[in-house]
Amino acid sequence: MGCGCFVIILPQMQKFILAVVLLLGVTFVFLYFSELQQIIATLQRANPWYLAIALIIQAMWFVVVGLVYQSIYSLLGLKESRRHMMLLAVAANFVNVVTTSAGVGGMALFINDGQRRGQSSGRVTVAGALYLLIDESAFLCVLAVGTIILARRNRLSYGDIAASLTLLAIACAIALFLYLGYRSARTLGNVLAGLARTINFMVRPFLHRDYLSERRAHTFASEIAEGLSALPKKPASLIAPLLLSLLGKILLMGVLTCAFLSFNIPFRVGTIIGGFSIAFLFLIVSPTPSGVGVVEGVMALALHSPRVGWGSAILITLAYRGVTFWLPLLVGVWAFRMINSNKVKVKAEERTGEPL
């Protein structure tokens, strides 16, 4: 009886979670509605042909992201279609933005989907960590070139350097996390348990209880080690997803190029690489969701030059953000609904024993 009630209620919980996240999405759009209006007005002034090309390039970026995840999943022995991985990636991006969860919400979406499909939570978590490491490694290659260009043009600030070092530290922390899990589950468990003790010590005066479980830290470490054990022994196996991730960055630079062309503003290749590097850098390290409100300012500053006036830099920035941030956010709403509607359908099939 109890199990039956749980199965009946679970689809309703899926609908409740869907409603909450969509409500957060509406709230997010409401909070940043003035910026969205500016972007819509800017896109209306753009050359429609170049705008159409930018949208096609962005659609190609969706496919490439799905391919990156699919290749990482394949390395870990997890078989998923490119379409499903693309939907998951876009939906996770939407969840991360509207919940301001620093990636936790998106990772939970992947883990929940994996559990529903009978996949190891450890392997799915490793896949997410590997994606972050590979994505940031590919971007660091672009950032190195962009930093040199900005330095030669005297456009590199202390804030840019600090943000770059922060990104490098994040990538190193993820790499260390994976290395510890690969070498020893016990070592990783001890490290995670130590972090849990530190966090519990800090929050105990406010919560009057432990916030994190040290036992769960060791269990989680074992799951991670199990997931990492499925990786091929040759590091060369990571080259394919790394190249795909680098292709994704090139496509985004293609969108920025279309933004210049759509307003008939002259540019150099260095301007594209430098402007994109700064925009993507602060998208990662900014305290705001996907750098909203921050990326717009630093990108316009990076694009501004004797060839590109302030007005033109702002136009290009708004057009670029409209295609690469707001469009994926709206597509993410649809992807999130698709993912959750599939979950509800599967649960209903399990309850009735018949396909719907």
The pLDDT of residue 112 is: 82
In a domain, 148, yes or no: yes
In a domain, 195, yes or no: no
In a domain, 212, yes or no: no
In a domain, 120, yes or no: yes
In a domain, 215, yes or no: no
In a domain, 209, yes or no: no
The number of folded domains in the chain is 1
d(CA 261, CA 33): 26
Q: How many CB atoms lie within 10 A of CB 297?
A: 13
The pLDDT of residue 4 is: 36
Q: How many CB atoms lie within 10 A of CB 247?
A: 16
Q: Which two tokens stand for residue 298?
A: 């630093």
Exposed / middle / buried, residue 283 (Cβ in 10 Å: 0-12, 13-18, 19+): buried
In a domain, 207, yes or no: no
d(CA 45, CA 228): 50
The pLDDT of residue 344 is: 47
In a domain, 345, yes or no: yes
* Average pLDDT along the chain, 356 residues, taken 10 residues at a time: 36 55 67 75 88 95 93 87 90 81 72 81 84 89 88 77 81 80 74 77 73 71 73 76 94 95 89 90 80 84 80 89 90 85 51 45
Contact between 295 and 276 (Cβ < 8 Å): no
Residue range of the domain that includes 162: 9-183+231-352
